[in-house]
Chain A
Amino acid sequence: MNAVQPIQLLAPEGTLSENETYSPYIAALSDEDLRSLYRNMALERRLDAEATSLQRQGQLALWVPALGQEGAQVGTIAALKPSDMVFPTYREHAMALYRGITPEELITQFRAVAHAGWTPEKYNFHLYTVVLGAQTLHAAGWAMGIAQDLRTGSVPRGRQEDEIVLACLGDGASSQGDVHESMVFAGSYGLPVLYFIQNNHWAISVPTSTQSKAPLAARAGGYGFEGVRVDGNDVLGSYAVAAHMAEQIRSGQGPKLIESVTYRIGAHTTADDPTKYRSADEVERWKAQDPLDRYRTWLTAQETADEGFYQQVEEEAEDLAAELRRATLSIEAQPLEEVFDTVYAEPHRQIEAEKAWLKDYEAGFAEDGDKA
């Protein structure tokens, strides 16, 4: 379909190649950092499996598997600073866990007991956005705020001057008008946004080849900024490319775009049956390029990690899964009144009126004499 080969440092066989631009970023990582990349991918994979089971057991309204995309997500988030704001889609579980979001916070939305399970400011990680592509507009808006703060010299307390914004999207959302508008604004204002497209090859049942006749990375050129393709199943490549891009954005070079070429091994969501639109052969071909397998091969060969480490990660993953199950089964619905309290930053008369109405309405369920 296209001639632009994705940047790849770590091949599926687990061999690392040299690259003048990107290898230095890998060389700067400590053994601890390298092990952490594996740990984060493995934790997400186990959590993903548990959540899928919980949905199949009727405990979750829906689950969106990220299976197969761990390398793309972990590599990229690890390249950012904790102070950088992330605008995820609804599949960035590895990124969410990396930022410290707990299983309980993560599962709240999928259990459908509240609109969201965490406060974005706490983790610099915005809420999962189900409206396709809308988060790219929020990201551009946030970045405009950053630019404004810098211009007026009034960076709010708790935020950093060198903050950049990660705008996540998928190959399907790349066809949305919202994304176009976001990129136009980011390009026009030279905003500090890193667009991160996880091209997992399937927008539910529509293949990327239908979405675009040119590589998605090439779209950036039309908006006046740089776009690169990276092998999303190569966690080291994903890290290095994101780190390189982030560095340039931080130095004031405006937006950048990464097309992370990966694959959704699981279903689009638990309400989807991928066997209806893609072949088992295709899935097998991609499984052979698994991000965890190749990285583990390399880590082991480098003697950066041993069986003891993998065993330890596995135990931690089991605990995480158990915690997810416990949290799912015990999680309480958000009191509906609280929904009103988070609409505006300050008290608002109409919202107060509606809140009072609801209270009265709820009281209508009580038996006579119950109100006292």
Chain B
Amino acid sequence: MAETFNLPDVGEGLTEAEIVAWRVAVGDTVAVNDIVVEIETAKSLVELPVPFAGTVEELVVPEGETIEVGSPLIRIAAEGEAPAPQGSDESVEEETAEPHAEQKNQPEQKSQKGQRRSAEKRSQQKSAGKSVGEKTPDAGGDALVGSGPKADVAVRRPRVRHTEPDSVDVSDLGLPDPVLPIRDGGSGAAPDIADIVSKASPPVRALAKRLGVAVWELVGSGGNGKITRDDVERQAQEKQAQRSAGGAPARSLPVTASPRPPVPAEQGLLYEGPREEKIQVRGVRKATAANVSHMAANVPHVSVFKEVDVTRTMELREALKKDPSFEGLSVSPMLFAAKAIIWAARRNPQVNASWHDTHYTLKNYVNLGIAAATPRGLVVPVIHEAHTFNTRGLAAAITQLTVDARDGRTTPAEMQGGTISITNVGSLGLDGGTPILPPGQASIVALGRVQKKPWVVDGQIVPRDIMIIGGSFDHRLIDGEHAGRFISDVAAVLEQPGLLLD
């Protein structure tokens, strides 16, 4: 039974933090309040003490990553079989706060435990209790303002108070006139939180959430465009009607008094979801954007291409695949291209270099960067001192690096110090491309896909394995001549892998 420690808001209102350094490793034993990780927030470097005792089961986030407050950080397995002694705060809180609700409603929504308070929470639980088997639609529910789970932080109530004090006659008390916020409605694009807050009161939003209605798609029929309970209920009925009708939108039924049809399908949207969606730029995407912007704007790129007959390489590949010493290793065109690049870099020092305005530095070693698509985006982990590896060693290194990258285990250190890189656009089914250079490097080689093509050999047209290799180069230090000779050398090796025997 593992406990998860989510990233808390350690400042006042911080939304994210970067994982700077882990102080523990998987398998370590920790006690309550042991420092496990150092994080950097917008305000400061902070050491986080863990709230549970036990064994570290998983470090969820790699160093260098920025995650949102409330995201899982580390998982701790309790020692032995005893139930976790510490930090089962949510259940403690729940039990003391609402023993009756707990008993009445067994099928409770676990993910929301302890995240909400009082009335809202109560209604949630009751709702869950009632609608068992009824399939509560939860589309859009999570986007409700002010009610989404935030972190392990102290629970917050929705904080809106723009409602008239109309339940009590206070006309003789001399209260100031209630001021209703008036805002221009959004153009029906992305839901603007402030907009929703001003147009739908928390009880209405709570109702919408229960009924699975996306509030921001509604145009309110109340004063000042306020969304009323009726608006929400009408929309829910409409949705229900659509479902019974087999999904076909019932065009004849106007949903609200609104001039804007609120049903997505009627607007001809591409897929289920809001019309426009704002995606926050962070983490790998943020880093990638910064890097490519800088390189594209500051480095004059030049690209060259060459079509190569890689039949012999493919034959060698087949042979190595059968070799027991390569078992479990990825023997891909990438492996041979890597060998070829190292070989060609030896003959063309100019490409394995970095530019520094007043000088440039030739690297008499190869730290080979390999661009990898991962679930979180593009990363370029580096095989350090790649020129010292034999073929099997290189195959092992590439295999390990690709697996790590896909699992998100690449550490920031493994992404530093590349001298020359390789990107396999062939794995995307493409023949070639003009990649942007990684920061600090002057060359990147692009591998196209291997394809059987008619090829002229000794005056005969025969089917051969053909691949286009190419790449981008920093034109400030790499002339067309350098790039051409280098790519031709890489091509020569792929055409005739026997050259590697030298």
Contact = CB atoms under 8 A, between A and B. Distances in A.
B228 to A, nearest CB: 12
Contact of B127 (A60, A61, A270, A367): A367
Interface string A317-344: 0000000010001101101100000000
Given A361-B203, A366-B123, A56 B117 contact: no
Given A356-B167, A360-B167, A370-B126, A58 B152 contact: yes
A306 interface: no
Contact of B48 (A57, A325, A329, A330): A57
B341 interface: no
Name the prevailing secondary structure of the A interface residues: helix
A109 to B, nearest CB: 11
A207 B50 CA distance: 33
Interface residues of A, number: 44
Nearest to B233: A368
Given A53-B49, A61-B154, A111-B154, A353 B92 contact: no
Interface in B146-201: 151-155, 163, 165-168, 170, 173, 175, 201
A357 interface: yes
A369 B173 CA distance: 32
B46 interface: yes
Contacts of B293: none
Interface in A338-364: 349-350, 353-354, 356-357, 359-364
A235 to B, nearest CB: 27
B463 interface: no
Interface in A101-130: 111-113
A275 interface: yes
B120 interface: yes
B166 to A, nearest CB: 8
A353 B154 contact: no
B173 A349 contact: yes
Interface in A29-66: 49-50, 53-62
Contacts of A49: 33
B12 A61 contact: yes
A275 B38 CA distance: 15
B120 A365 contact: yes
B202 interface: yes
Given A349-B173, A366-B119, A57 B93 contact: no
B251 interface: no
Given A111-B154, A365-B120, A271 B210 contact: no
Contacts of A370: 123, 126
A272 interface: yes
B201 to A, nearest CB: 7
Given A356-B167, A365-B119, A56 B173 contact: no
A332 B87 CA distance: 16
Contacts of B9: 58
Contact of A353 (B12, B118, B123, B168): B168
Contacts, number: 123
A367 B151 contact: no
A350 B175 contact: yes
Given A113-B154, A365-B202, A356 B168 contact: yes
Contact of A271 (B43, B118, B120): B43
B51 interface: yes
A149 interface: no
Nearest to A58: B8
B44 A361 contact: no
Contact of A357 (B43, B45, B167): B167
A273 interface: yes
A276 interface: yes
B123 A57 contact: no
A325 B92 CA distance: 12
Interface string A182-202: 000000000000000000000
A354 B203 CA distance: 18
A56 B7 CA distance: 9
A335 B9 CA distance: 24
A113 B86 CA distance: 21
A301 B27 CA distance: 45
Nearest to B6: A58
Nearest to B47: A56
Given A273-B43, A365-B123, A59 B89 contact: yes
B70 to A, nearest CB: 9
Interface in B1-53: 5-12, 32-33, 43-51
B97 interface: yes
B10 A55 contact: yes
Contacts of B5: 57
B173 A353 contact: yes
B92 A330 contact: yes
A58 B151 contact: yes
Contacts of A270: 10-11
Contacts of B155: 333
A335 B120 CA distance: 14
B96 A330 contact: yes
Interface string B362-379: 000000000000000000
Contacts of A356: 167-168
Contacts of B202: 364-365
A-B interface, 3 closest residue pairs, ranked by CB to CB distance from nearest: A58-B8, A273-B44, A364-B203
19 contacts: A55-B8, A57-B87, A59-B89, A61-B12, A111-B154, A271-B12, A330-B89, A330-B93, A332-B93, A332-B96, A333-B117, A335-B118, A349-B173, A356-B167, A360-B167, A361-B163, A363-B119, A365-B120, A365-B122
Given A333-B118, A353-B173, A363-B119, 16 more contacts: A56-B46, A57-B152, A58-B153, A59-B152, A59-B154, A113-B154, A273-B46, A325-B32, A329-B93, A330-B89, A330-B96, A332-B97, A353-B170, A356-B168, A365-B206, A367-B130
Interface of B: 5-12, 32-33, 43-51, 86-87, 89, 92-93, 96-97, 117-120, 122-123, 126-127, 130, 151-155, 163, 165-168, 170, 173, 175, 201-203, 206, 210
Interface of A: 49-50, 53-62, 111-113, 270-273, 275-276, 325, 329-330, 332-333, 335-336, 349-350, 353-354, 356-357, 359-367, 370
